[in-house]
Amino acid sequence: MKRETWGSRAGFIMAAVGSAIGLGNIWRFPYMAFENGGGAFLIPYFFALVTAGIPILILEFSLGHKSKGSAPLTFAKLNKGWEWLGWWQVLISFVIAVYYVVIIGWAISYIGYSFTMAWGDDTTAFFVGDFLGLTDGPFQLGGFRGVIVATTVVAWLISFIVLYAGVKAGIEKANKIFMPLLIVILLIVMIRGITLPGAGDGLEMLFKPDFSKILDGRVWVAAYGQIFFTLSIAFAIMITYSSYLPKKSDIVNNAFMTGLLNCGFSVLSGIAVFSILGYMMHTGGGELPDSLSGVFLAFATIPQAINQLPALQVVIGVLFFLSLTFAGLSSFISINEVLVSSFTDKLNLPRRKVVLGYTIIAGIVSLIFTTGAGLYVLDIADRFVNSFGVAMSGLVEVIIIGWMFKLVTLREHFEPISDFNVGKWWEFTVKIITPVVLGITAIQNFYQEFTTPYGGYGVGPLIAYGWAVALGILIIGIILGKSKWKDAGILEATVEDE
Amino acid sequence: MSGGAIAFMIFGILLTWGGAAVCISIAMRKRDV
């Protein structure tokens, strides 16, 4: 059997970094650092990167590279009984894809709004009312929002074109355009930010170390959580991408580069965001803006900051929302590739047919998030799929691979082909550190959900959009894991580079 | 900005971008990138 490969090592790195760098780097990391000890947060954060993030990247890169298949095929090749784990991760990707695309649609819409600063003086009211048309509750859909539907379709079209072209001519080429552009745009926004009056105060808030916080265990769990979510691990992306690596490819150094570049981007994003927030405080009499993270930071606070800029308002607006769009698209494409690759393997269908069928089906499902209740549904689905999908599947993955599989065979696979070796500490991190941290996170998530239901929503919406989704994908994953492969020979076949 | 904040900002940038630069230089020495 033949499998397509990346055209170059740089192409793979760009795609992997592009997948890891997403909206969370821009709107989650800075706030996490600010809330959890400022500069001192960097200590647990980098510790988590080295003891969990990079080791799991090495694990997933080597799994994909060794099996040369999608996530379900990879797990099925290790043990037919573990295939469901691959499907669970694939379905987690599906849920994320169908709401993530709508946020990219919002960012594309806001690129257009930036030209006239259409959001006006009350940016929150514009975002929630005029733009989202937010209804009174999660069950009141309120009809489709025309602009959001249109820009969501644009995002799906871009993904379709890229995936249809294939791994080398599509994904690799797209990331070679998106990633350099993203870095240049971020640098321009950052330089504009740090040259504004009051920027120093914002950076002081972000980086001033509060060492008392790092004695708090919850800060360490938060740091591990941030690292885990930021690196696109445990939802099959890195397994899929590394399955396209040629036979003689480095694993360890690629994992280090991916992890470090992703975190480097987060630090620069933090500087850009907090210098702008510092400027807002400077012009607003020292008062902190209401929203410092998430969608409200991006679509309400930043437009408000743009209103207050002394010059280059349109340019900075367009560039900021372009950066969100590029960061989102590169991750979105990688999430979609997980599904395309898995169904291509399972159904033994031509890749292009799968791309077309998947885009149509997922595109239709994503429309629910373009309604007036979209933000509610998105918020609940995001919370549940991350807390009870990504985190739990990551926990199961490290337990299965760490404890029920001879981990040393993976180390024997990647060490001879890697630029440098990692030694036995890698096995220790996969077998001990990561399961312990993810286990604590899981307990914390369940405890939190059962004591304080998320976001003040009623039981009905949490069951319909949260628990039903989280449990549903697990059950469907198990069913898919038991279903037959169209070409059963794929489980035994030797795969050659195309 | 206080000295502590400046130190941690530089620490963050150096560790990530510096670390990545070291990895890239290793990759370039070992094989084609």
Helix/strand/coil (H, E, C) string of chain A? CEECCCCCHHHHHHHHHHHHCCHHHHHCHHHHHHHCCHHHHHHHHHHHHHHHHHHHHHHHHHHHHHHCCCHHHHHHHHCHHHHHHHHHHHHHHHHHHHHHHHHHHHHHHHHHHHHHCCCCCCHHHHHHHHHCCCCCCCCCCCCECHHHHHHHHHHHHHHHHHHHHCHHHHHHHHHHHHHHHHHHHHHHHHHHHHCCCCHHHHHHHHHCCCHHHHHCHHHHHHHHHHHHHHCCCCCCHHHHHHCCCCCCCCCHHHHHHHHHHHHHHHHHHHHHHHHHHHHHHHHCCCCCCCCCCHHHHHHHHHHHHHHHCCCCHHHHHHHHHHHHHHHHHHHHHHHHHHHHHHHHHHHCCCHHHHHHHHHHHHHHHHHHHHECCHHHHHHHHHHHHHHHHHHHHHHHHHHHHHHCCCHHHHHHHHCCCCCCCCCCHHHHHHHHHHHHHHHHHHHHHHHHHHHCCHHHCCHHHHHHHHHHHHHHHHHHHHHHHHCCCCCHHHHCCCCEEC
Instruction: Closest CB to A208: pick one of B4, B23, B33.
Output: B4
Chain A residues touching B13 at Cβ < 8 A: 264, 267-268
A160–B contact, CB cutoff 8 A: no
Residue A197 pLDDT exceeds 80: yes
Does some domain include residue A424? Answer: yes
Does some domain include residue A6? Answer: no
Chain B residues touching A267 at Cβ < 8 A: 9, 12-13, 16
Residue B32 pLDDT exceeds 60: no
B9–A contact, CB cutoff 8 A: yes
**How many CB pairs lie under 8 A apart between chains A and B?**
86
Chain B residues touching A264 at Cβ < 8 A: 13, 16-17, 20
The domain of A232 spans 14-491
pLDDT of residue A495: 75
Total domain count, chain A = 1
Q: Check CB contact under 8 Å for B5 and A8.
A: no
Residue A285 pLDDT exceeds 90: no
Chain B residues touching A11 at Cβ < 8 A: none
Q: Check CB contact under 8 Å for B16 and A267.
A: yes
Q: How confident is the model at residue A288 (pLDDT cuts 50, 70, 90)?
A: confident
Does some domain include residue A300? Answer: yes
Does some domain include residue A174? Answer: yes
pLDDT of residue A284: 84
Mean predicted confidence (pLDDT) in A303-311: 92
Tell me what the pLDDT averaged over chain A comes to.
94
pLDDT of residue A33: 93
Q: Do the Cβ atoms of A407 and A427 come closer than 8 Å?
A: yes
Chain B residues touching A208 at Cβ < 8 A: 2, 4-5, 8
Does some domain include residue A315? Answer: yes
Instruction: Closest CB to A207: pick one of B8, B17, B19.
Output: B8
Q: What is the pLDDT of residues A33-74, one digit of tens each?
A: 999 999 999 999 999 999 999 999 999 999 999 999 999 999
- Measured between CA atoms, the residue of chain A closest to residue B28 is A419
Nearest to A172 by CA among A18, A43, A283: A18
Residue A467 pLDDT exceeds 90: yes
pLDDT of residue A44: 94
CATH number of the domain within which A379 lies: 1.20.1740
Place of tokens 């900075």: A316
Query: Which amino acid is residue A384, in one-letter code?
Result: F
Does some domain include residue A81? Answer: yes
Nearest to A232 by CA among A361, A377, A92: A92
Instruction: Closest CB to A419: pick one of B15, B26, B32.
Output: B26
Among residues 12-31 of chain B, which lie with CB inside 8 Å of chain A? 12-13, 15-17, 19-20, 23-24, 26-27, 30-31
Q: ipTM higher than 0.90?
A: yes
Mean predicted confidence (pLDDT) in A147-158: 98
Q: Check CB contact under 8 Å for B33 and A263.
A: no
Does some domain include residue A4? Answer: no
Mean predicted confidence (pLDDT) in A443-453: 90
Q: Check CB contact under 8 Å for B16 and A8.
A: no
For A418-427, b/e burial (b = at least 16 CB within 10 A) is bbeebeeebb
Least confident of A77-91, A95-109, A123-137, A279-293: A279-293
Instruction: Closest CB to B12: pick one of A13, A200, A267.
Output: A267
Q: What is the pLDDT of residues A66-108, one digit of tens each?
A: 999 999 999 999 999 999 999 999 999 999 999 999 999 999 9
Instruction: Closest CB to B23: pick one of A10, A260, A267.
Output: A260
Mean predicted confidence (pLDDT) in A438-442: 91
Q: Check CB contact under 8 Å for A8 and B30.
A: no
Residue A402 pLDDT exceeds 70: yes
Does some domain include residue A2? Answer: no
B4–A contact, CB cutoff 8 A: yes
Q: Is A221 exposed, middle or buried (0-12, 13-18, 19+ CB in 10 A)?
A: middle
pLDDT of residue B31: 65
